[in-house]
Amino acid sequence: MSNFGTTDFYHEVRNGNVPGHSIVSKFGENPDIDIAGGFETIWDGGGVYVPPTQARIHDVASSTAADAGTVLTTGSADAGDADQLVDATKDFVALGVALGDYVLNDDQITFGIVLVVATTTLTLFGGMRNAHSGEVNGSNEDGDSYQVVTNASTGASILHIDGLDASRLDVHEFVVLNGTSNVATVNSYLRQNRARVFGPGTTGAAGTITSTAQTDGTLTCQVINGNNQTLMAVYSIPSNATAYILSVWQGLSKKQTTSSVSRLRLGQLDSIGFITHVRALDNGGTSDVVHNYPGGLRMSGGLDMWMEADADANDTGVTAGFEVMLVENT
């Protein structure tokens, strides 16, 4: 770790070349902060962000029937190379699998896009991909559970959720959308850090896709039409990692006469958060600010981080975000 603060080291982390290290970028926008609202969280749900009271199953649904997928088949993969899904028990041609359909590996939480269809083998475009970055990473190993999904309409067909369970450990899954009907998550989530849509749809999400905690009825995250992923300057650090804040930024996102104070809080979303960073924004002066932490500001695992802002004019838009490096605890 002697070169912790060097650009080369961070570059190697971003490229996945430093075991146990990764970099997470979080960004969000609150497009409608009003004078009377006080400080609001910088996220696309507006107002103050409220997390689930405990780890909850979530209901996922869209505001339109156009966001829907159809599961053509599920199964258990046979051993194959990184560019293929092989299942000797299937006839993928007879099942109607086609170019552009998605293979979801529910054990590794990776996805692939079908390029060639044969009886028992699907050849994938470039191979299986990481659900976070889209980079080619991994393969369909013997015994892995999979789904093959096709689009049922003109919108998105799949939502990938990245969050934390009751122990604040990473948990992920794919949800196959069913239009305006609720689809329950397999996992229970205490926090949801990010969600993004996948699928053969030509435009992505046709409506607003929401993930709502059962029992609590609170909106944990949403994907707005046109964004195709959450815009949340909210992040919860896994309990088995230490986070180093590398940078914080904030800015005004609308052309209007206004000013705002934006700040970073660290602590617990459902308890207390300590102000760690404050900046003033003004359309006539500083409307975009970046602050770097040389070497990183160290934060313990299990903490929540979030950005918030106020405004001196109604309908003020504020955007903000931060970048952290995660180091797995040993």
Q: Which pLDDT score, from 0 to 100, does residue 3 have?
A: 46
H or E element at residue 274 = strand 273-282
Query: What's the confidence (pLDDT) of residue 2?
Result: 39
Cβ atoms of 278 and 261 closer than 8 Å: yes
pLDDT tens column, 49-65: 999 999 999 999 999 99
Single out the residue of 244, 134, 247, 232 nearest to residue 191, CA to CA.
232
Alpha carbons 80 and 77: distance in angstroms, whole number: 8
pLDDT score recorded for residue 295: 85
CA distance 14 to 159: 24
User: Under DSSP, is residue 57 helix (H, G, I), strand (E, B) or coil?
Assistant: strand
pLDDT score, position 181: 98
How confident is the model at residue 193, as a pLDDT?
97
| pLDDT tens-digit map of 177-189 | 999 999 999 999 9
In this structure, which CATH number among 2.30.30, 1.10.3470, 1.10.10, 2.60.120 belongs to the domain 7-49+234-328? 2.60.120
Chain-centroid distance, C-alpha 199: 15
Fold of the CATH domain 69-151? M1 Pyruvate Kinase; Domain 3 (2.40.33)
Q: Which residues of the chain have pLDDT under 70?
A: 1-7, 200-202, 285-286
Of 212, 228, 208, residue with least CA distance to 220: 212
Residue position matching structure tokens 């949403």: 222
Bridge partners (DSSP) of residue 268 are none
Determine contact, residues 317/253, Cβ cutoff 8 Å.
yes
Its sign, for the CA torsion 240, 272, 52, 307, is negative
Domain ranges of the chain: 7-49+234-328, 56-67+153-223, 69-151
